[in-house]
Amino acid sequence: MTPRSLSIVVAALSAALAFGFAGADGAGQDGDWRSYGRDPGGQRFSTLAEIDRGNVGRLRRAWTYHTGDLDVRPGVSQPFAFESTPLAVDGIVYVSTPSGRVIALDGDTGREVWAFDPPARTMGRVVARGPHRGVSYWETSDRADRRILYGTPDGRLVALDARTGLLRPEFGSGGMVDLRPGVADDWPRAQFEVSSPPAIYRDLVITGSHLQEYPALGPRGDVRAYDVRSGALVWQFHTVPRPGERGHDTWEGEGWKDRSGVNVWSVMSVDAERGLVFLPIGSATYDFYGGDRKGANLFANALVALDAATGAVRWHFQTVHHDLWDYDLPAQPALVTVRRDGRDVAAVAQVSKSGFVFVLDRATGQPLFPVEERPVPASTVPGEASSPTQPIPRRPPPLVRQSITRDQLSTVTPESNRACTELFDSARTGPLFTPPGLTLTLTFPGTLGGATWSGTAFDPVRRRLYVNVNEVGALGGLQPLGPNAPLPYRRAGSGGEYARFWDDNRWPCQQPPWGTLNAIDLDEGTIAWTVPLGVVDALVERGLPPTGTPSLGGAIATVGGLVFIAGTNDARLRAFDADTGRELWADRLEASGHATPMTYRGRSGRQIVVIAAGGGGYLSRTTSDVVAAYALPAP
């Protein structure tokens, strides 16, 4: 036997032993993190109490794992962030990378148990890369069959044996289902990716897709359910309704035909008891001009509840009509409980880029706080037909500023003030939902503002929703295109199509805070506390108080009274007091953790907190390939 063969046998035996003894020595389902949001409803709440407010200051790095997956492509100025939230089952940690690799680690030591590298879709081509937020786990009731299911950055649905990391050959074709047929047949070169873990309902795996932003026509954003064992298609939901289907009348003429976008690129939630799957649906393409898609455009920018077994629509709630701002629903809906008239009501909380929080009855979709249709500014762009009103919830209050004036510009340094004043004076401004114009328009919040895919954490004990938000505007104007272009206009500006309202240091142009962590009392619809999240070290050295920073990557809550969060572009993982918002602990990471942490109980019985610290993406220039684990010192 060669040394390599021996190492493979030893690794396989170690993996089998790890699974065989899991549960007997401390790990178990109560200590697991089995879904992206820990539970299928995305609460991100852990009942583990070993780490609490009294001892969190003693947390130390327990282990570090390097994935070896760094984005080093020539000429890449913005490498993909490492956005994965790992799962933990029976003391084994499962993490995915931007190239679609999946790695199983011993949760106590960080030792690699197995790794799966997806083959290239086409022989001779490099493996695709993209944002990738994690994998899903499924098992039979007797636990004889355990699977990891996930989508790849090149649009395939994969089923792996959770014990070995080997493809399950009976699933699809050799363990994979090609997701392009049926939605992208006419667009062989168009973008079609999967960036978030699929939802699991009984024996179904339900997936969305990550599609192009431009041009307007292309692959469809249909949501589909597959048999978890065979990979056979079970149902398909048309996110852009076809003739005769509910919502089709919200698309004038043929605006629905071949429409791209209207996709679920973020994370879905499942209410197994009610048999519902909740879809946070994105914008219709093109994001900033809709003259070719007049109407309200269902089901774009809508939270849609489907019958999870059949894909039939139970209800929908549209948060933006005829979107012109890229205000798609970016985050997993949180299934929560709200107190109303002395009784508990099952609800769903949906955060948005505009800074609003919509709290709806989970069974009916009716708002639990009043939502008003208010008049908004009209578009001045020829051919455009913006919506005359938009839905505005009265409670909770907006989590970010929704407009900006010249006297609110940043003064953190004279240089920043000069640069930001020049930007501000070059653009037209207006209130929330001011449509983009033919001249440079400042939109506040912008495409990276408000709540992002970072999402929320819900503490059912304190009945609070924890949300990190960005105070970041966007700059752009619609530029006329040539007669042979797909559309008459496309957004542009000196900083590009998705330019941010920040200076050369990427410091936002308005007065701080630039990013906050918020606790929302969902019973009352009020904000319990707000604190700046993150620091700019260069400004702290000048004596300025913490400004907060933009963040991508969300929070988790624990029964120990803690809120853990990284996300910020200052390369730190933090723990906050869930009751007061006071920062109790922080540690520097190798790069910013643009991901959501999770916590689990290892086979040793210790509670461990893990974060993917990869930097990169929209916010950070430093990159890494680190998975970092923290625990209290061993006895």
**Residue 65 vs residues 143, 472, 610: alpha-carbon distances, Å:** 28, 33, 11
**CB distance 531 to 546 below 8 Å:** no
Return the biggest CA–CA distance within the chain: 76
Rg (CA), the chain: 23
Q: DSSP H helical segments within 297-343, as ranges?
A: none
What burial class does residue 166 get, using C-beta atoms within 10 Å of its C-beta: 0-12 exposed, 13-18 middle, 19+ buried?
exposed
Q: What is the dihedral of CA 487, 488, 491, 492, to 10 degrees?
A: 120
CA-CA distance, 147 to 552, in Å (whole number)? Answer: 29
Residue 468 bridge partners (DSSP): 517
Q: Which amino acid, residue 346?
A: A
Buried b (16+ CB within 10 A) or exposed e, 362-387: bbebebbbebeeeebeebebeebebb
Give the residue ranges of DSSP H helices in 74-197.
none
Please report where in the chains the tokens 């051919």 appear, as a residue.
Answer: 383
Task: Identify any residues that bridge with 467 across adjacent strands, giving them in sequence order.
Answer: 456, 518
- Can 326 be counted among the known catalytic residues? yes
Pairwise CA distance, residues 560 & 360, whole Å: 28
Bridge partner list, 106: 92
User: In terms of DSSP H, where are the helices of 488-605?
Assistant: 537-541
For the CA atoms of 317, 198, 599, 335, what is the dihedral angle to 10 degrees?
20
φ/ψ of residue 474, rounded to 5: -135, 150
Host H or E run for residue 591: none
What are the tokens at 351? 């955060």
Question: If DSSP codes are grouped into helix, strand and coil, which group holds residue 512?
Answer: coil
Tokens standing for 11?
Answer: 């690794």
CA distance 64 to 372: 50
Look up tokens 């643009």; give the residue.
594
DSSP class of residue 425 equals H
Q: Which of 108, 287, 326, 625 is catalytic?
A: 326
- Peptide bond preceding 513 in cis form (omega within 30 of 0): yes
Residue 578, C-beta contacts closer than 8 angstroms, at least 6 positions apart = 459, 462, 464, 466, 519, 557, 558, 561, 562, 563
Of the candidates 103, 216, 86, the one whose C-alpha atom is nearest the C-alpha of residue 486 is: 216
- Residue 624's identity, in one-letter code, is S
Q: Residue 335 pairs with which residues in a beta bridge?
A: 348
Tokens of 69: 């997956």
Please report, for residues 6, 105, 367, 480, the alpha-carbon distance to residue 484 in angstroms, rounded to integers and kept in the order given: 62, 53, 45, 11
In the chain, DSSP finds a helix count (H) and a strand count (E) of 3, 40
Task: Give catalytic residue positions.
Answer: 326
